[in-house]
Every structure is written in C-alpha cells, then in structure tokens.
Amino acid sequence: MKTKSTFTVIFFTRKSRSHSSQLSIYVRITVNGKRSEMSVKRSIPQNQWDTTRNRGRGNSETIRILNTYLDQVYNKLLESHKELMEEDKIISSDAIKSRYLGEDDDSKTLKELIAYHNGNMIHVLKAGTMKNYYTTEKYLQKFLLKKRRLKDIYLKQLNFRFIIDFEQYLRTYKNSKKELMLANNGVMKHLERFKKMINLAIKLEWMHKNPFSQFQLKYNKYDRQYLNERELELLENTEFKSERLQKIKDCFVFSCYTGLSYIDVKELTEMNVVKGIDNNNWIYTKREKTDEQVKVPILPKAWEILEKYRAASDMDFTTNVLPMSSNQKTNSYLKEIATACGIHKVITFHVARHTFATTVMLSNGVPIETVSKLLGHTKLSTTQIYARVVESKISEDINNLLERFKEKESSCTATLTICTI
C-alpha cells in the first residue's frame, strides 16, 4: 500500500529564559512524522501571540513586521523542500533545515571549495605546485573584493560571466609599479587551476552546472629555448674566476648531459650514482615532480663534473653532490654566465633539459622513445614539447636520402644497359 510523504511547517513558542514575560519563537519542520526545530531569532510578549494562527496578534507596526518575517521564513522552507524534490534528493526535516540555513552541499561557497581542495591536495601535490594553487587563491580573493565587493560567493552563483570577468581581471592586473603581472599563458594557468577546483566541486556534487563548460583555455605556443652545439661548446670551454658562477655553470652543463631538472640535480646524492647493467656509471633517481623512476647513463662530460665535486665532498651517501644555489639565484647567475659567454639567449636552468633532449640526444640520432625514457616522461607527447629537429639534423637526413636516390639511379641505369645489350 502506497503512503504519501507528509510535510508540515508550524511556528510555536517557548518561554524566554532571559525575559519571563516574553516568548521565543521557533519553527518546527515535520516530514513523515520526524521533526527538526530551530529558533527564528525573534521574540514576542506572551499576550500578543495567537496560538490558533501561530502568528502575532494585532495590527501594530511591530506585529506586522514580525508576521511578514515569519511568512518569509515559511516560504523559504517551502522553497527548500521544492528544490530538494527537483534535485531528486532525499527529503527529510534535517535536509530541509540544512538547505534553509545554507549548510548543505548545495550551499557550499568558493572559500569552502578552495579550503577543501588545498587541504586534501597538500598531501598529494608537490610543494611547488601547491604554491601555485595558493597564488591562484589570492587572485580569486582580490577579484571578489575589488570587482564583486564580496569576501565569498556561493558555488551555485558561479557562471560563465564570472569566468570571463576573472580572466579580464587577471589580464589587466598590475603591481604597485603599475606593471602588468601576467602574460596570456600565466592567465591560462590560473584559470586551469581554478577549473580543476570546479571539476572537484562537480564530482563532490557541490555544483550541478560547470561554468567552464563553454570556456576554452587558449595557450600561446612558444619555441622552447635551448643551446645549440656551438653555444654549448662555448659554455663548456669558458672558465670563470668567480666561484659562484663556475659552480652554477658546472651544474648547468651537468644537466645538459643528463637531462635532470633543477630540483633533481639539487637533490642528487651518492646513493643515486650506481653501476648499471652495462657496468657503466648510471644515475638512478625519481623525478621530484612526478615520482617517475629515471635511469640515466652518465656521459663522460657529466662524469667529469661529478668527479670534480665528489672529490671535494666527504662522500656521505646522504649529502648532496653538486653545489646548487636556490632556483632564483641560479637563474640570475645563468644570465650573467650567458652574457659573459656571448650567448644571446635568455637562459634558465630548465634550458639545460631542453638542450639535453635536442642538441645532445635527438641531433645525434637518439630515438625519441629513448629520450622520453631518459627524461622520465610517462607520455611520448610530453617529450615532443622538448624535442625539435634542428636544421643540421634535417640537412644530414636529406643528404642521406639524396645518396640513396643516387644509388637507386645507378642501379636502374646498370639494369637498363644490360637489357639493351
């Protein structure tokens, strides 16, 4: 036998604890006989409450304002019940109360989402990645305060317009010196991180519509900087009187011949230097960024640098082998080094990784699949970002092709001669 769900809302009073002549007003939500109650934060003199109508008695201005407020509470509770039904949610007195108070999942705010995301991801993502999420959070907070005059916003209020406005805010954001802070790809990175947080909210069922569904992230493609063979040789053959520059140059060249990133070179210890399957020296390590296992044979020029600094250290297995400075200082010193060597390129430490992939490996005929393994990439498509075929390699391959054509032509001519005889 089918039974219909019952839903009622009534107001009632209790004696005030602080004022004996006053009554505190409450509302009771009942669904299928189960109750949930809450105070409406209003009170009324005992002789002015109508127990039949469950409203204030009389026509005074105070009573009219009170009854209007109670009607609003009643209508909002009905609306909360309707919303839960339309969303096919479980209908209960507690669920209706939570929706009314804004305490259910559908009333989550942007700050709550960011706090939940960062609180969970801090144990999953690397510190550098989390730092970027904190920066995106700061931009969102500044945008809300300046453009919306808000400290927070409900997730259900986020729409396509919000995304567009936030994008424009990032594009036009200036520092205290009135300088633009972000280029296109920097803006897209912040939006990409924001999008990932929104996707989390949808998976958690805190949101039903994705404001990014019609928005497309558009990155500008740039040629990644790398040193060609001449520039790398020039750098290798330059000795610096300054100890700080010489150390950073050595570490950079070491990365050019191993493909290790800044943090992986910085964290390199004796424990990572082992004898490989071919009885040669290898580096066995895990990429700090991805935890991907990396095995790199140590080329002679990289081995020279390693031996140089191993000789100066105490050979402790837990001590970092190479003398790396902070990332900021390293990149600053590399600019000095490039200028001193006459290299007219903006060099950062990551350029060494590109140089390894392009100049050291691919230009010398190493297959891209091997390069991908050496770089510790999980997908070949990632390696293709680093890999470019330089002009000298194209020229070499075309010359080889022309030689094959000549050989074929000679073979065909000889065959034709035999046939005519």
Name the 3-class secondary structure at 359: helix
pLDDT at 106: 63
* Token representation of residue 44: 């009324």
pLDDT at 419: 42
pLDDT at 156: 85
pLDDT at 1: 38
Nearest-angstrom CA–CA distance, 5 and 32:
6
pLDDT at 254: 95
Task: State the CATH class of domain 229-389.
Answer: mainly alpha
Nearest-angstrom CA–CA distance, 229 and 248:
19
Full DSSP string of 62-120: HHHHHHHHHHHHHHHHHHHHHHHHHTTPPP-HHHHHHHHHT-SGGG-BHHHHHHHHHHH
Q: What are phi and psi of 207, to 5 degrees?
A: -135, 150
Full DSSP string of 375-400: HT-SSHHHHHHH----HHHHHHHHHH
Nearest-angstrom CA–CA distance, 23 and 173:
54
User: Sheet harboring 273-275: ordered strands across?
Assistant: 273-275, 281-286, 293-297
Q: How far is CA 205 from CA 85, 87, 118, in A?
A: 16, 11, 18
pLDDT in tens, the chain (421 residues): 344 678 999 999 999 887 888 999 999 999 998 999 999 999 999 999 999 999 999 999 999 999 999 999 999 999 989 988 887 777 888 888 888 887 665 678 999 999 999 999 998 888 888 999 999 999 999 999 999 999 999 898 899 999 999 999 999 999 988 899 999 999 999 999 999 999 999 999 888 889 999 999 999 877 778 899 999 999 999 999 999 999 999 999 999 999 999 999 998 988 888 888 888 899 998 877 777 788 899 999 999 999 998 877 655 556 788 999 998 999 999 999 999 999 999 899 999 999 999 889 888 888 888 888 888 887 777 777 766 655 556 667 777 788 888 887 777 665 554 444 4
* Token representation of residue 273: 């230097």
Per domain, the residue ranges of the chain are 7-105, 108-203, 229-389
Indicate the DSSP class of residue 321. Answer: S
Cα end-to-end distance, the chain, whole Å: 105
Q: What is the phi-psi region of residue 413: left when phi exceeds 0, alpha when psi lies from -120 to 50, beta otherwise?
A: alpha
